[in-house]
Amino acid sequence: MDEELDYLWETLGLEITADLWPERDKIHPTLRPAITVVQANYRRAPFLIMRTSWHAALPDLKRIQASLVELSGMPTVISETNLERRQRERLQRQRIPFICPGIQAYLPFMDEEYWSDTPDTYVKTYDPHEWAQLED
């Protein structure tokens, strides 16, 4: 997970601390060796970051992410280096948080979206009115 944390800090300026998720034993035994899950903290707000050991298809990523949200009760961010633009757009439309190191981080539970096209960094912060319109 160092690549993700380095990207969030060095490129976007987000100081996030992380360690292995202490409740990892809740993950199904057949899936446990295939994914890495860390519990991250940003401004004392906990969330999980998950990464698979293979380049999983988008439906698999979404299924695993949803099960981790249910198990942990925390926002869970998908980390995948090979998300295509259309896949990232689909995740955004469905408000599923993700990190694509070096390209984009979408963290709707923080009310922010980040894009990094080196050397420029763009941050979009939602105002309360705009945020209310996004609510389901």
The domain limits of the chain are: 2-134
Classify burial at 26, counting beta carbons within 10 Å of its beta carbon; exposed 0-12, middle 13-18, buried 19 or more: middle
Q: Which pLDDT tens digit goes with each residue over 37-75?
A: 999 998 888 999 999 988 889 999 999 999 999 999 999
What's the pLDDT tens digit per position in 82-119?
899 999 999 999 999 999 988 888 888 887 666 655 43
> In this predicted model, which residue has the larger pLDDT, 1 or 73?
73
CB 40, CB 48: distance < 8 Å: yes
pLDDT above 50: residue 28: yes
Using the structure block, give the residue that is written with the tokens 């981080």.
105
Rounded to two decimals, the pTM is: 0.80
If one compares 43 and 31, the residue with the highest pLDDT of the two is 31
Q: For residues 28-39, give the mean pLDDT.
A: 92
CA distance 99 to 88: 9
